[in-house]
Chains A and B, each alone.
Chain A
Amino acid sequence: MNSLILIVILMLISTAAFIFGRKKALNAVNGKVSALHSLPGHYGWFSAVISFLPGLTILIIWFLFGNNLVDNFTLATLGGEIQNLSDFDRALYMNDIRNLAAQDAISRPVTEAMTNAAHYYLRTQENISWIFALSAIGISALAALFSIRKISPDLRSRNLLERLILIALVTCSAIAILTTVGIVSSLIVETLRFLDHVPLTDFLFGLKWSPQTALRADQVGSSGAFGAIPLFAGTLLITFIALLIALPVGLLSAIYMTEFASRKARAIFKPLLELLAGIPTVVYGFFAALVVAPAIRSSGEVIGLEIASESALAAGLVMGIMIIPLISSLSDDVISSVPQSLRDASLGLGATKTETILNIIIPSALPGIVSAFLLAASRAIGETMIVVMAAGMAANLTANPLEAVTTVTVQILALLTGDQEFDSAKTLSAFALGLALFVITLFLNFMALRVVRKYQEQYD
């Protein structure tokens, strides 16, 4: 049964519950609304919500676990040799059965057992969907009857309804927590599995990164090395170049716009500069790969320098452009929040505007500027598309910005796009890198907050 049809049926049931609930409340007092505890609509909504929720719960359970259930039932019918396969091979086998059932191409010769399994799969899928759908409809209808029976003029339906709404609001706000829990737990679980294959010290301090592991034992040349140092070095190099561009440009723009520019000029320049923040990173990546990198390469050729076509310089330069608005708008905020009295005092003592800026404003805005710097660094480290399109793939331990380096994000993406075996050290290493990335950016964000809290002077 189609889940969309089921939703419509559930909605119809709760609409009916609304109408009958409201009617029952009104009939109980012969249409004299003031005799009811709550408004008639509240009784209707009460029945509607009570009847909809159980069905919805079953629908969600079906949606989340139905496929797994069908898979498990199908696998249970198969012979011992399948049961004894590793988790990964069993998953592959199951995938083939699914594809066979959907009449797609599969990766192994079709056996009779597989055809039977595919038929069984389709049948079970059909049956399970009916079981879920019918039980959802049944429970919803029962809940509707129950809630309508409950209705009497004394029922405090508004209070009950409002309590339900409040519970819904709390649940929604808990989703933010759940997201974090989901991120942290999935990263940690997969990282622990990765550490079964590769020791932690090898990962953190190893100098060689080549995640290609041999598929067969007799394959040569691909033992797999998971030393993350070259990736972190590459990330740092590109981040460093980016900040080298963005910090002066962003800070100077902020100073100029807050202290020198006229109100009119500021109204034009500020949004223009912030346009840079609205451009998708894939566009920056395209710009880096097709405009900046060739330009750098050919200008290198003019002065006789050999520059890799995927140099760290090109990626860093464009990433720098991307973070300019982040630094400029954050510094703009802190510079504007330096109280006017400090400026007036400095100017009144005969300092020029420049001296006021350098000696008074910058020092008092420094914590905010440092925090902007840290946030920009965190942004640059986590940035993906620019480096995927403009930086290299090969891990290269170098500090030379003219060579190609790779970054943590590039590797995560490279390891996880395309077909993947989910249990290999290669795929799992992406999660370990992800965890490292998450911890680093979290730390930088936390520090950015703390610097402001701890060192920012409070003026009033």
Chain B
Amino acid sequence: MQARLKRRYRKERMFKAVGLGGLMTGLLALAVMVISILSTGLSGFTESRLHIDVYMDPEIIGTIAGNTEKERLHSLMQINYSALVRNSLRQKFPDVKGRRNIFSLQKLVSKGSREDIKQRLLEDESIIGKTITMNLLASSTVDMYLKGQISRHVDQSERKISDKQLAWLDVLQAEGRIVKGFNWKFLTSGDSREPELAGIWGAAMGSFLTLLVTLVVAFPIGVASALYLEEFAPKNKWTDLIEININNLAAVPSIIFGLLGLAIFLNLFNMPRSAPLVGGLTLALMTLPTIIISSRAAIRAVPPSIRDAAIGMGASRIQTQFHHVLPLSMPGIMTGTIIGMAQALGETAPLLMIGMVAFIVDVPHGVLDAATALPVQIFLWADSPERGFMEKTSAAIIVLLLFLVLMNGLAIWMRHKFEKRW
């Protein structure tokens, strides 16, 4: 008897431990994921710059012609910036000889540094002929090495940075000519083939425009159908059908919505490919069930006494709904809508199917411009072979998750703030 009791208690403890183990496995997975993304992604927000004395050679620059800014910009485009950079680097390292060595010396500096020099020239022409110290953006390989992603202890053939380049970097580092800073470009520019120049602003704008379309389409339609189904619909076969339908649509895989968008919006209606408009419409159909279901719950939560009182005062049924029930259920509806929008923000597959997956450098300005979205940008970067894109991918994920946390946090806050107990 005693022994059996002991056995039963042991089983009890073991079962509890197994349960805790299950829970901890789930949480551990979450932790590993978050940590691995943070550890690879945080460095994506910084960039390395090389402190180089650039001689603004008048022979290379020539004269900057034109009176308007546009003409001047055009004339600035003609300048051979790589020669400027090359000469400055050679001045710094005079004993570098041979085309290949000079080429690999120049590879320390990013192609994007031309923009910096151009900007300086645009601001102040008097620097022509002078030597000025500039912080030139380091190339992605150098950046990766400085961030410890490339080890100098492996053989030269196995890393992208050569021994010579390392020696030059050591010189620069010893002189304190390597500085790290916050990578503003990552937040303010569009996509690029060069990891050190790539940014998420274009994708973020694409996501914003897409979600705007989604919201404008899905919110009124969702609330209207919820209102009808909850308050006006007679109980019959037709409304039953709608109900079953909505519940089923909520569980249809997102890729099917992509197929729908492709077949209906693109092929039947000839809408433009890659446009946030089509992406937004597709995502709107996808989030509609979420909004309808949560709006119905919010409308149902408004007590009947409110409706009775309004009707009793002589309001019509529509007036009762629009003047009383809808405003009272609005916080709940908004909460559901924000959660639906958060889902739509993270959705990738349907957008890939309607072509929002192209390499797009320009930041979109309207719902008809070609665009990508944040999750699609993550997908594209994750596919890139360049090492520098890995930290950019993680950094973009951090930004995306930040937005999602903000949106969900807002939803939770609204629920607590406006929750009414009747």
- Residue A345 is within 8 A (CB to CB) of chain B in the complex: no
Contact A169 B252 (CB under 8 A): no
Question: Which residues on the A side are within 8 Å of B316 (C-beta)?
Answer: 158, 162
- State which of B12, B22, B233, B357 has its C-beta within 8 Å of the C-beta of A173: B233
- Residue B19 is within 8 A (CB to CB) of chain A in the complex: yes
Which chain B residues (226-252) contact chain A, with CB distance < 8 Å?
Answer: 227-229, 232-233, 241-242, 245-249, 251-252
Q: Which of B19, B40, B258 has the most CB of A within 10 A?
A: B19
- State which of B251, B288, B394 has its C-beta within 8 Å of the C-beta of A441: B251
Question: Which residues on the B side are within 8 Å of A276 (C-beta)?
Answer: 26, 29-30
- Residue B289 is within 8 A (CB to CB) of chain A in the complex: yes
Tell me the bound Cα distance from A171 to B253 in angstroms. Answer: 25
In the complex with contacts A249-B25, A278-B342, A413-B255, A186-B260 CB distance below 8 A: yes
- State which of B25, B36, B246, B259 has its C-beta within 8 Å of the C-beta of A176: B246
Contact A412 B259 (CB under 8 A): yes
Contact A431 B263 (CB under 8 A): yes
Contact B245 A180 (CB under 8 A): yes
Contact A187 B259 (CB under 8 A): yes
| Shortest distance from the beta carbon of B384 to any chain A beta carbon, whole Å | 12
Question: Which residues on the A side are within 8 Å of B397 (C-beta)?
Answer: 283, 286
Which of B70-78, B138-146, B175-183, B400-408 is the contact stretch? B400-408
| Shortest distance from the beta carbon of B203 to any chain A beta carbon, whole Å | 12
Q: Please report the total number of A residues contacting B with Cβ < 8 Å.
A: 92
Q: Which residue of B lies closest to A270 (CB)?
A: B23
Tell me the bound Cα distance from A422 to B246 in angstroms. Answer: 30
- Residue B306 is within 8 A (CB to CB) of chain A in the complex: no
Which of A63-71, A119-127, A136-144, A393-401 is the contact stretch? A63-71
Question: Which residues on the B side are within 8 Å of A452 (C-beta)?
Answer: none
- Residue A430 is within 8 A (CB to CB) of chain B in the complex: yes
Q: Which residue of B lies closest to A358 (CB)?
A: B15
| Shortest distance from the beta carbon of B141 to any chain A beta carbon, whole Å | 19
Question: Which residues on the A side are within 8 Å of B21 (C-beta)?
Answer: 252
- Residue B27 is within 8 A (CB to CB) of chain A in the complex: yes
- State which of B12, B19, B222, B345 has its C-beta within 8 Å of the C-beta of A253: B19
In the complex with contacts A166-B318, A169-B224, A287-B37 CB distance below 8 A: yes
Contact B16 A256 (CB under 8 A): yes
Question: Which residues on the A side are within 8 Å of B249 (C-beta)?
Answer: 176, 179-180
In the complex with contacts A281-B346, A282-B346, A291-B36, A260-B30 CB distance below 8 A: no
| Shortest distance from the beta carbon of B74 to any chain A beta carbon, whole Å | 20
Tell me the bound Cα distance from A355 to B5 in angstroms. Answer: 12
- Residue A375 is within 8 A (CB to CB) of chain B in the complex: yes
Contact B260 A417 (CB under 8 A): no
Tell me the bound Cα distance from A64 to B251 in angstroms. Answer: 28
Q: Which of A169, A281, A284, A289 has the most CB of B within 10 A?
A: A169
- Residue A40 is within 8 A (CB to CB) of chain B in the complex: no
Contact A282 B375 (CB under 8 A): yes
| Shortest distance from the beta carbon of A400 to any chain B beta carbon, whole Å | 24
Tell me the bound Cα distance from A286 to B232 in angstroms. Answer: 46
Question: Which residues on the B side are within 8 Å of A412 (C-beta)?
Answer: 255, 259, 353
Tell me the bound Cα distance from A353 to B11 in angstroms. Answer: 10
Tell me the bound Cα distance from A389 to B381 in angstroms. Answer: 11
Q: Which of A190, A379, A382, A384 has the most CB of B within 10 A?
A: A384
Tell me the bound Cα distance from A175 to B241 in angstroms. Answer: 12
Which chain B residues (252-269) contact chain A, with CB distance < 8 Å?
Answer: 252-260, 262-264, 267, 269
Q: Mark B1-32, 1 if CB is under 8 A from A, else 0.
A: 00000001101100110111111011101101
- Residue B113 is within 8 A (CB to CB) of chain A in the complex: no
Contact A173 B229 (CB under 8 A): yes
Contact A71 B270 (CB under 8 A): yes
| Shortest distance from the beta carbon of A454 to any chain B beta carbon, whole Å | 16
Contact B248 A437 (CB under 8 A): no
Which chain A residues (204-263) contact chain B, with CB distance < 8 Å?
Answer: 248-253, 255-257, 259-261
- Residue A381 is within 8 A (CB to CB) of chain B in the complex: yes
Contact B349 A385 (CB under 8 A): yes
- Residue A12 is within 8 A (CB to CB) of chain B in the complex: no
- State which of B29, B232, B270, B349 has its C-beta within 8 Å of the C-beta of A68: B270
- Residue B102 is within 8 A (CB to CB) of chain A in the complex: no
Contact B232 A166 (CB under 8 A): yes
| Shortest distance from the beta carbon of A246 to any chain B beta carbon, whole Å | 9
Contact B318 A252 (CB under 8 A): no
Contact B264 A186 (CB under 8 A): yes
- State which of A173, A182, A260, A445 has its C-beta within 8 Å of the C-beta of B248: A445
Q: Which residue of B lies closest to A269 (CB)?
A: B23
Contact A437 B263 (CB under 8 A): no
Q: Which of B23, B383, B393, B401 has the most CB of A within 10 A?
A: B23
- State which of A64, A280, A438 has its C-beta within 8 Å of the C-beta of B404: A280
- Residue A275 is within 8 A (CB to CB) of chain B in the complex: yes
Contact B9 A290 (CB under 8 A): no
| Shortest distance from the beta carbon of B42 to any chain A beta carbon, whole Å | 15
- Residue B285 is within 8 A (CB to CB) of chain A in the complex: yes
Contact A256 B19 (CB under 8 A): yes
In the complex with contacts A169-B225, A283-B401, A434-B255, A174-B242 CB distance below 8 A: yes
Tell me the bound Cα distance from A381 to B262 in angstroms. Answer: 21
Contact A186 B353 (CB under 8 A): no
Question: Which residues on the A side are within 8 Å of B400 (C-beta)?
Answer: 280, 283
Contact B285 A179 (CB under 8 A): yes
Q: Which residue of A lies closest to B36 (CB)?
A: A291
Tell me the bound Cα distance from A442 to B232 in angstroms. Answer: 29
Contact A375 B251 (CB under 8 A): yes
Contact B19 A324 (CB under 8 A): no
Contact A273 B30 (CB under 8 A): yes
- Residue B129 is within 8 A (CB to CB) of chain A in the complex: no
Q: Mark B153-177, 1 if CB is under 8 A from A, else 0.
A: 0000000000000000000000000
Question: Which residues on the A side are within 8 Å of B255 (C-beta)?
Answer: 382, 384, 409, 412-413, 434, 437
Other contacts beyond A279-B33, A416-B258, A416-B259: 8, CB < 8 A: A173-B242, A176-B242, A253-B19, A283-B346, A291-B36, A352-B12, A354-B16, A378-B253
Query: Which residues of A are at the interface with B, using a C-beta cutoff of 8 A?
Result: 64-65, 67-68, 71, 158, 162, 165-166, 168-170, 172-177, 179-180, 182-183, 186-187, 189-190, 248-253, 255-257, 259-261, 269, 272-273, 275-276, 278-287, 289-291, 321, 324-325, 328, 352-355, 357-358, 375, 378-379, 381-385, 388-389, 409, 412-413, 416-417, 422, 430-431, 434, 437-438, 441-442, 445-446, 449
Question: Can you sample 30 A-B contacts with CB below 8 Å?
Answer: A64-B269, A65-B269, A68-B270, A162-B318, A182-B260, A183-B257, A249-B26, A252-B23, A256-B16, A256-B20, A260-B20, A280-B375, A281-B348, A281-B349, A283-B397, A286-B378, A287-B37, A289-B382, A324-B26, A352-B9, A352-B11, A352-B12, A353-B16, A354-B12, A354-B15, A357-B15, A385-B379, A388-B379, A389-B383, A438-B253
Closest 9 CB pairs of A and B: A382-B253, A252-B22, A280-B346, A256-B19, A173-B225, A186-B263, A172-B224, A169-B228, A384-B349
